[in-house]
Amino acid sequence: MALVLTVQSDAWNNHVTSLANSVHGLVPVVKGNGYGFGRDWLATRAGELAPTIAIGTIFEVSSVPAHCTPVVLTPSLELPEDLRDDAILTVGSIAHIQAAALSNKSRQVVVKIRSSMNRYGAAIGDVNQLLEKCRTLNLQVRGVSIHPPLTGTSADHVREIENLLATIDPSLPAWVSHVDPQDFADLQSRHPERQWFVRLGTSLWHGDKTTLQLTADVIETVAVTSGQKVGYHGVEISQNGTLVMVGCGSAHGVAPLTDGLSPFHFSRQRIQLIELPHMHTSMCFIPSGQPTPVVGDQVDVQRPLINSTADHIHWI
């Protein structure tokens, strides 16, 4: 039983290195499950690319190598006592700033400006107030941060970033995301008075999807007939065929796709799910006459790697 991520090693590394070398001001993003590679392992790889690494929360700081500076992307309302002194915290409100200042240490922060995503961050008219509050509480301001939404183009995001920064002190570095390398280089060229950093995660680690394949093994098959009831919930089979037990499930982060379809494929055909994947097994059904795997065969798994926990990563 295994969910396996297979990586074309040379091609994947070539893509990562090439993209990293093309970006001046790169901040690799390593958060959550480490984009399917494991957060600790990927943080070590990121440490070979840049001196600063972005992680999701204060609880992920421990993954960042000692020689790199962690940037925490999600604001916090309470800091652990053992949080590294070099961690850069994101603040987007007075409450976030007060939490960062409670330890009585001169913590480093970036002030988040609210983008059209409307998630975290201060409205542009309140940014100067937050900057002043940080300085009053002896926090070291390392710049401002903008996180545009996924919708729109890279050029759209650049326009939003430039509009938001128009009234912000140019001596403050800007930390941005969802901008492609060429647009980011153009942004740096147009505004050389400001230091720029760009966070790259998906495009860096998953930018060449041909190098990545997620599969799971078939651990049992059972012949069934029309009208037979199967599974936890007694689902009635509508025609003769074969139950296929795939060796991954909810414990691996495997679930139906957003449109409700099965994530499993065999011989370039989607395999029907009988019921929701459960823990370490997914029960599927293939009608008679269609290509059917046998025990030990692999099926393709169509799931985002950021939601998937592989049992094994196979580098080839």
Q: What is the pLDDT along the chain (316 residues), one digit of tens a residue?
A: 699 999 999 999 999 999 999 999 999 999 999 999 999 999 999 999 999 999 999 999 999 999 999 999 999 999 999 999 999 999 999 999 999 999 888 999 999 999 999 999 999 999 999 999 999 999 999 999 999 999 999 999 999 999 999 999 999 999 999 999 999 999 999 999 999 999 999 999 999 999 999 999 999 999 999 999 999 999 999 999 999 999 999 999 999 999 999 999 999 999 999 999 999 999 999 999 999 999 999 999 999 999 999 999 999 9
- Which ranges in the chain are annotated with CATH 3.20.20.10? 9-205
Dihedrals phi, psi of 207, to nearest 5 degrees: -65, -30
The per-residue pLDDT for 95 is 97
- Which ranges in the chain are annotated with CATH 2.40.37.10? 209-315
On the CB side of 42, CA atoms within 13 Å amount to 26
The residue count of the chain comes to: 316
Domain 209-315 has CATH 2.40.37.10: yes
The per-residue pLDDT for 104 is 81
Using the 8-state DSSP alphabet, how is residue 247 labeled? S
Q: Which residue has the tokens 């962690």?
A: 70
Q: Domain spanning 9-205 has what CATH number?
A: 3.20.20.10
The per-residue pLDDT for 103 is 84
Q: Are strands 140-146 and 108-113 parallel, antiparallel or unpaired?
A: parallel
CB 195 within 8 A of CB 143: yes
Cα angle 204, 208, 212 (rounded to 5 degrees) comes to: 105
Beta bridge partners of 88: 71, 108
Task: Enter the pTM of the model.
Answer: 0.94
